[in-house]
Amino acid sequence: MTSEPKNGAQPISEMINQAIKQKVDYLDVLRKAITDHADEKIYALLDQRRYAAEIMHREEQMNDTGVMGLVDDLTDQLSNYLSTKLIKYLSKTYPFFYYEEYQTGHYRIYFGNWWDRRQFGELDVLNIRFVFDQGEYQKLAESFELNRDGKRYNGAKIDKLSKENDRLQGLIDSGDERAAKKEELQAELKEASARNGLFESSKNRETRESIVSQLSELEDQEEQARTASGKIKENNQLVLELSKENTILSYERKSITDTFGSFEDFEQENRNLYANYLQSLVGSGKQVIDHD
Amino acid sequence: MTSQMVTSASQQVASLTDALAAGLKRGEQYVALLNQLATTSDEEELLAAASQLIDFDLQDAYVKFPQHYEPEDYYLLLVGRLLELAGEDDLTVKPDPAHQRLTMHLTSFKNNYTFCFERKRNRPGAFFAEQGDHEPLFNLDLTHKLLQFNNRALVDFLIVKEINHRNDLELRALLKPLVTFANLLADKLAFTINLGILATENEAKFKLASPDLKLTVIDRLFVQTAETAAALLSLPKNNGAKLVLGEGVALTLAFDPDDFSRQWYFTVADPDAKLSFLDVLLHYSLVRNWYLGNRGALAIMDSRFSLKPENEVVSEAPVVKDEAPASAVEETEGEEAAEKKPASASAEPEKEDADA
């Protein structure tokens, strides 16, 4: 078996060499880009198809599968490496986002630097995009929506709890009143009971039953009043939590409005982040060259 | 009818004249000291005169001086003279014939506030207090050369009582001569002073009396900042919060992350280092309402100079006393009040001022 298997006219060894050369070339270019900290070039190499489509506006370019996976085991390191410039850019364009590298190349996003700011998702450095926590993001979107109608995110819940607290406070405050009423009813009951027995009139029985039911209602209220102050405290704690969330959302809305004008503009900016960022790199690169 | 003491007539008279002369000499000394207090332009001499007059014993079996001042009056005269020498005329000393004493009034303040010094048993020095509520704003101790403002009293007087009646500028004007006086003592007479919540340096730490702070207290401030110009920020090391109030003014409530005790404290930063913690309470209703609503948790510690047995000033130790919650404005939860233990300190427990 000395004859070499053939693939068309090309000997297989040549094909392998060709493929290896492509890989080596790719890695050479990548290595140089890394050495030069030419982040734009690195991004172009890491996702050729996206770069061509969004920066060169060429839709037909496909990723070269022969080289794409070559640095897959380095994604965390590459992400860490590329984050420096990206986060610097983001801190200007999204001044309200803060990042925490919780492990190499992985970044948590925090919305704001205020008291009890929220963790808002992660930053995908290699793909230049925010991966927002959908639950948190939804709250914010909804809060913008409600704000248009002059409403607050937890407004309805807070109103409900406040009303409940008013009612409970009423129960506490009406303790004396209830005691007096109870005394009165008990006297009436005594009187009505004196006239019961075998020949009790149906009217008297109704009266008696009505008194008993009123007394039992008072007892219910008394029971509620006993636990009311604890309940009020609990509700106040809930109101505080809900108000806190409202406050956080109001800080977030203000940041977005101050920076982008509207939530829609913010979303638009997010969609264009890849292109905007890479273009900014080209722009700043040129400037440096111009000044040299 | 035989006297065991056999003396001649002349001896009798001589012993009386000796005694009278001694009494008159005592009176002369008194007059000389009063003159010194009234006329000297030297601060040291002024202090010396006041100190001696406070301890001066005018009692004499042979010569009576029915008209004289009381020790409390000399403290007041010292304040008046020292401010006069410094060209400060916001405080004036007036006689109060009804009580046979001297009183102090603010010329800049359209109010009939009357200030006097009061002395307390077993406590050194005297206490400067408004005569409506007798809560002493500061303690002046000439022997140990100390002046110590009382934070609780300042808050009660200015923030609880007065803020609804006048604006913060008027109230700051009220404090000005008192702070000037304290600074004069420090600058001219080497007194150790503690301005408490009147200190304006940006580094001044206003420590909380309560040993720990529930973060819900900060939450309550946070929710009040919604839709306002103020913003409550988290500190980078998660060791507290910073309230940004605009124009470079910020109030921080924090603890030192490296300090095991986690002592919480306020600081006030402003570009000119002119604002004290009290000024922030006076000026910003957001902070004031929050502070009063949570005073049990946020009260500022009142430190007291501790005195060595040989009566030397050693240090400023955190002491049991704190700015007590004012019941009228308090909404403290029961357990918070119950939990609140005084920070244990080396100094001996002392009684609250207010009950004296």
- Residues A27-81: tens digit of each pLDDT: 999 999 999 999 999 999 998 889 988 888 887 777 777 788 888 899 999 999 9
Q: What are the φ and ψ backbone dihedral angles of A114, each rounded to 5 degrees? A: -90, 175
User: Does B62 reside within a domain?
Assistant: yes
Beta bridge pairs of residue A99: A109
Residues A47 and A127: beta-carbon distance below 8 Å: yes
Vertex A245: Cα angle to A244 and A246 (nearest 5): 90
User: Does A129 reside within a domain?
Assistant: no
Question: Is pLDDT of A236 > 50?
Answer: yes
Q: Which residue from A minimizes the CA distance to B231?
A: A114
Please answer yes or no on whether A113 and B234 come within 8 Å at the CB atom.
Answer: yes
A151 interfaces chain B, CB cutoff of 8 Å: no
A240 interfaces chain B, CB cutoff of 8 Å: yes
Vertex B323: Cα angle to B318 and B328 (nearest 5): 165
User: Does B227 reside within a domain?
Assistant: no
User: Does A290 reside within a domain?
Assistant: no
- Domain boundary (A73, A107, A127) is at A73
Question: Is pLDDT of A196 > 80?
Answer: no
Q: A40 vs chain B: nearest CA distance in angstroms?
A: 32
Give residue B114's region: left, alpha or beta (phi > 0; psi -120 to 50). Answer: beta
User: Does A117 reside within a domain?
Assistant: no
* Percent of chain A whose predicted confidence (pLDDT) is above 70: 92
User: Does B137 reside within a domain?
Assistant: no
Q: Which residue from B minimizes the CA distance to A250?
A: B226
User: Does B59 reside within a domain?
Assistant: yes
**pLDDT given at position A292:** 34
Q: How far apart are CA A195 and CA A206, in angstroms?
A: 12
User: Does B294 reside within a domain?
Assistant: no
Q: How confident is the model at residue A5 (pLDDT cuts 50, 70, 90)?
A: low
Average pLDDT of the residues in B132-159:
92
A161 with A252, same domain: the answer is yes
Structure tokens given for A102: 């919780």
* Summary mean pLDDT of chain A: 88
Number of structural domains chain B divides into: 1
Question: Which domain covers residue B47, as residue numbers?
Answer: 16-68
Q: Which residue from B minimizes the CA distance to A241?
A: B219
Please answer yes or no on whether A243 and B232 come within 8 Å at the CB atom.
Answer: no
Please answer yes or no on whether A113 and B227 come within 8 Å at the CB atom.
Answer: no
Q: Which residue from A minimizes the CA distance to B244?
A: A114
User: Does B25 reside within a domain?
Assistant: yes
Residues A113 and B233: beta-carbon distance below 8 Å: yes
Please answer yes or no on whether B227 and A116 come within 8 Å at the CB atom.
Answer: no
Q: What are the φ and ψ backbone dihedral angles of B80, each rounded to 5 degrees? A: -60, -45
User: Does B56 reside within a domain?
Assistant: yes
Q: How confident is the model at residue B167 (pLDDT cuts 50, 70, 90)?
A: confident
Please answer yes or no on whether B222 and A237 come within 8 Å at the CB atom.
Answer: no
Residues B191 and B204: beta-carbon distance below 8 Å: no
User: Does A142 reside within a domain?
Assistant: no
Beta bridge pairs of residue B306: B315
A246 interfaces chain B, CB cutoff of 8 Å: yes
Q: Which residue from A minimizes the CA distance to B230?
A: A251
Which residues of chain B make contact with A154, given a CB cutoff of 8 A? none
CB pairs under 8 A between A and B: 39
* Percent of chain A whose predicted confidence (pLDDT) is above 90: 60
Q: Residue B218 is nearest to which of A115, A237, A243, comparing CB atoms?
A: A115
Q: How far apart are CA B219 and CA A44, in angstroms?
A: 46
Structure tokens given for B232: 């409550």
DSSP characters over A97-154: EEEEEEETTEEEEEE-SBTTPEEEEEEETTTTEEEE-HHHHHHHHHHHHHHHTT--TT
Average pLDDT of the residues in B77-98:
89
Q: How confident is the model at residue B347 (pLDDT cuts 50, 70, 90)?
A: very low
**pLDDT given at position A4:** 54
Question: Which domain covers residue A237, as residue numbers?
Answer: 155-256
User: Does A41 reside within a domain?
Assistant: yes
Question: Is pLDDT of B309 > 90?
Answer: no
User: Does B44 reside within a domain?
Assistant: yes
Q: Which residues of B make CB contacts under 8 Å with A?
A: 216, 218-220, 222-223, 225-227, 231-234, 241, 333
Q: B335 vs chain A: nearest CA distance in angstroms?
A: 12
Closest-CA residue to B144 (of B273, B80, B51): B51
What is the strand order of the sheet B192-194 is part of? Answer: B91-96, B101-106, B115-118, B126-130, B136-141, B146-149, B192-194
**pLDDT given at position B41:** 92
Question: Is pLDDT of A93 > 70?
Answer: yes
**pLDDT given at position A36:** 94
Give A176: exposed, middle or buried? Use CB within 10 Å, 0-12, 13-18, 19+: exposed
User: Does A284 reside within a domain?
Assistant: no
ipTM for this model: 0.78
Question: Is pLDDT of B334 > 90?
Answer: no
Provide the angle, in degrees to the nearest 10, between the axes of the packed helices B215-224 and B285-293. Answer: 150
Number of structural domains chain A divides into: 2
Which residues of chain B make contact with A237, given a CB cutoff of 8 A? 216
